[in-house]
Amino acid sequence: MDSTLILVVGLAAVYAGLAGVVIIWMKSGRTVTKDRRRPKSASHDESALSALAVRAVETVNKQLHGRQLKLLAVDKFEQAGVSLRAADFILICVCGAFGVAILGTLLANLGLGVLLALLFVVGMLVWLNLKASKRQGKFAEQLPDTLQLLTGSLRAGHSLLRAVDTAADQSSQPMSDELRRVVNENRIGRDLGESMAETAARTKSQDFLWTAQAIETQREVGGNLAEVLDNVNNTIRERAYLARQVRALTAEGRLSAIVLVGLPIALLIFISVINPTYANVFYTTLPGWIMLGVVAVMLTIGTIWMLRLTKPKY
């Protein structure tokens, strides 16, 4: 009877955590509150759970106001192209970690639950960084074609701002979003060079920074901007070709790094599920916790080392 009650309570906690994650994720897409969009209409259609999620997000936002998190930078969500705020992301991590912790405890023991909770939080951070890296990589791939559009528009007689606007209309995401932001900022009075430099910093694109510097230099000293952008474009294409060669040569090392880091963690979780008695040694004894700590430190050092080896500078 006791085990059945624990199972029911655990499943209810898991479902509540998943429901909280879904509600927070759906709420994060709303950038303008309902009372501002329809000020005269009363909002009575929100459930108690939805209202609780909104209040939780507002509370976390107040606590994070004016603070800079080391592992969760404010501009990381813009870099990833994700319509989430820091408070939404933190609440999703908390609810998800709580749910998988309960599930791991029910499947095996408390140690596995804590391990799964930590892996969930780390996985969310890795997912966010992978989203940002993927978006930055796609931006870098689109840059040569965008520069070709700019040079074509300039040779056709358009101004620089009009050429950027045209490139924004004819490009796909994320290039279109970034160029549209540059155009909008320029229309409200911001300098074009500053907007492009900030875009380069946000996308972490050294090539786009060179483009912004070339445009700023041409604005100061004069010259044929289309020819300058052609030279920059040729340099960028050569760098991209070299980068693809380096990535192909280091593909085996990156795959080995993923296997060597992920295999011990996956094996520990697998043993904890199929044979909890054997894995209890790691979670219930002091030598077991020491061994887990040593393994975590060694995996961290090995990951950093292999990342250094597979990301050469060129």
DSSP characters for 204-251?
A: T-HHHHHHHHHHHHHHHH---HHHHHHHHHHHHHHHHHHHHHHHHHTH
Q: What pLDDT score was predicted for residue 42?
A: 42
Instruction: Give the contacts of 307 (CB within 8 A, at least 6 positions apart).
Output: 257
> What does the angle CA 235 – CA 240 – CA 242 come to, to the nearest 5 degrees?
95
Question: Which pLDDT value is given to residue 37?
Answer: 45
In the chain, pLDDT over 90 holds for what percent of residues? 0
62 touches 90 (CB < 8 A): no
- Give the model's confidence band at 1: pLDDT under 50 very low, under 70 low, under 90 confident, else very high: very low
pLDDT over 60 at 3, yes or no: no
For all residues of the chain together, what is the average pLDDT?
Answer: 77
Helix (H) or strand (E) holding 120: helix 110-155
Q: What is the pLDDT of residue 40?
A: 46
- The pLDDT-based confidence of 202 (bands split at 50, 70, 90) is confident
What pLDDT is attached to residue 269?
82
User: Tell me, what's the pLDDT at 248?
Assistant: 85
What is the structure's pLDDT at 52? 56
State the pLDDT at residue 11. 56
The CATH homologous superfamily of the domain defined by 135-249: Type II secretion system (T2SS), domain F (1.20.81.30)
Helices (H), 156-171: 160-170
0.75 exceeded by the pTM?
no
Decide if pLDDT at 258 tops 80: yes
- Give mean pLDDT, residues 34-56: 51
pLDDT band at 12 (very low <50, low <70, confident <90, very high): low
What would the pLDDT profile of 271-314 be if each residue is shown by its tens digit? 888 887 887 888 788 888 888 888 888 888 888 888 787 776 65
Question: In the chain, where are the structural domains located?
Answer: 1-30+46-107, 135-249, 250-314
Give the alpha-carbon dihedral of 277, 283, 287, 291, to 10 degrees. 100
Yes or no: say if 43 and 34 are a contact pair by the CB < 8 Å rule. yes
Question: What are the tens digits of pLDDT across the range 72-124?
Answer: 666 777 777 777 777 777 888 888 888 888 887 887 777 778 888 888 888 88
Give the residue with greater pLDDT, 209 vs 76: 209
pLDDT of residue 8: 53
Residue 40: DSSP 8-state: T
In the predicted structure, residue 174 carries a pLDDT above the cut 70: yes
Q: How far is CA 183 from CA 20, 167, 217, in A?
A: 38, 11, 19
CB 103 within 8 A of CB 28: no
Mean pLDDT of 150-157: 88
